[in-house]
Chains A and B, each alone.
Chain A
Amino acid sequence: MFNFNWLSGVSVAWGKFITIMAFIAPMIFALTMKKKYIYQGADDGVWWRNLKIWVVVIVAVQVAIYLFF
């Protein structure tokens, strides 16, 4: 049990899928946040201060890396 032997039958492909979902899940969570909360404290409402865009860019790069390797 301690060695996660019960997961030894899960393929590497599924391992990759689960790992990629670990990136996607926080991104979806971020996308559901209210605009007011995301911009809280910002000097103005310009597009690049939208932190949701930052999250999408970061996750897109990470998913591409995990798909490739």
Chain B
Amino acid sequence: MLNGIDYTIVLLYFAGILWMGYYFKNFVHTSTDYFLAGKTLPFWAIGMSIVVTDIGAVDFIGLTGQAYRYGIVVGNFDWIGSVPAMILAALVFVPYYWRAGVFTIPEYLGRRYNIYVRTIHACVWLLILTLNLGIILWASGVLLSELMGWSIMASIVLTAVVVGLYTILGGLSAVVMTDVIQLVVMFIGAIAVLILGLWQLGGWGAMVDKISSLGPQYADHFSLILSPNKNTPYPWTGIFFGLALVLAPAYFIANQAIVQRSLGAINEWHAKASVLWGAFLKMFIPILFVVPGLIALGLIPGIEDGDRAFPALIRQLLPPGMTGLVFAAFFAGLMSSVDSALNSAATIWTKDIYERFIKRDATDLHYLRVGRLFTGVLIIFAVLSAPISDLFEGIYLYIQTIFSIFQGPTLAILLLGMFWRRTTQWGGLAGLVGGICVATILYLLKSTLFTIDDPFLYIAWWSFMSGMIIAVVVSLVTAPEPLDKIRGLVYGMVLHDVEMQNKLQDKLAEE
């Protein structure tokens, strides 16, 4: 499928990314440089990195395929399912983390609640990130094998070597700055598909007419709001309660990969602006990745498996050279997902597990080496474990299920811990564990309790509510936390406590 010029473009892209990783190695001297980029990142780079972290290579195929099947309603995930949460994250939560002076979300939970909450959260995140790495690599390897005839393991090893090298060498700086290039490449590739596709269909109006003429089952393909009475996985009730109110805030407020980038900003204004800039860019994702699904439906109707829509579209639309660009964009999406998972997992491992349980009070250089070493071990583990994904059908779904089971209760105790002083350490622990148990039960009984096949949006909502109620009840029957313990950890006591902020500024200046 690729010819000489396409291969040249892909190779140039790989070389450029590797060079950037090597260049940023020169700026890594301490663990803060490695995990938080030495707090030197500008808002525009962080915002672009946040967006590209969220959109992986699998989304090229998945988003387009879902749009082919269900229409523009899939765009809700990047609009109502991102933008309001990102505005709140930018103006409320990021400044809060910034002023509380934390590295990781588990670290905050440990300080606000207790070591059990911190460890449960850190271990679950570490497990999810590690398993996800192998799955992302395998899914992308399979895709490249189907499209290009490449060996699956060759694709995986090539990606792992490139990403592993620049992430180990350059840390968060290299991750974020390569993400910037990757976003530009992804956008150029997607815009090429969009323009050529619309041009071949005769424009937007012609595309709408073509899809509408395919039959009544496509009548809702251009509606963002769908009635809960329709047989769709995306009714507006699920989108609003499950996605907009729980999963989106959980992702942008409680996700280590997102928060870590903002904490690497030059100052508080850049931290806030980075998430808003990310929200602005995020608005283009449905246009670039959902609309091509509709274009594929207009040009090539009748594809049984929606996930085949994007490859079919590339084959039909793109001239030589352009195909190489889109493949570079595909690799960009893959690498941005892998580098973020690597860097976040290394941070959680070093700060929340190694420094807490294995070796306290070591030198900063020691933790820097541990972070780099763990990144290397993790990428090797991901390569070796990737083929296991093939042995278990639907393992990707299982991981996503674990992820969504965990999101609602985490958000519940995070919000309570931040905004309600009366929340106790035992309330937080009970809310987290109880909420996860409720979510697990709902999943096990989903065929009897829910009317739609994959009710993850509804389960997210109910597990969030359960975690919230359990945490409130247990907090009220246990002794309040001493004021000294929660000082600087509850919203009003972080942002408006002058003494606390002065101490924090002194501490940051010392570092």
| Chain A residues within CB distance 8 Å of chain B | 2-5, 7-8, 12, 15-16, 18-19, 22-23, 25-27, 29-30, 33, 37-43, 49, 51, 54-55, 57-59, 61-62, 65-66, 69
Contacts and interface: CB of A to CB of B under 8 A. Distances in A.
DSSP majority for the B interface?
Answer: helix
B276 A2 contact: no
B268 interface: yes
B273 A16 contact: no
Contacts of A41: 267-272
A59 B95 CA distance: 21
Main secondary structure of the interface of A (DSSP, over half): helix
Nearest to B244: A22
B27 interface: no
Interface of B: 72, 79-80, 83-84, 87-88, 90-91, 95, 222-229, 235-241, 244, 267-273, 276-277, 279-280, 283, 442, 449-452, 455, 458, 462
A65 B80 CA distance: 11
A58 B83 contact: yes
B228 A7 contact: yes
A50 to B, nearest CB: 10
A39 B269 CA distance: 6
Contact of B91 (A15, A25, A30, A57): A30
Contacts of B80: 19, 22-23, 62, 66
B240 A69 contact: no
Contacts of B224: 16, 19, 65-66, 69
Contact of B227 (A5, A15, A39, A65): A15
B222 A23 contact: no
B228 A3 contact: yes
A62 B79 contact: yes
Given A23-B80, A41-B269, A2 B240 contact: no
Contacts of A49: 269, 273
Contacts of B79: 62, 65-66
Given A22-B84, A41-B268, A12 B226 contact: yes
A52 B458 CA distance: 33
A57 B276 CA distance: 10
Given A4-B458, A26-B84, A33-B91, A40 B228 contact: no
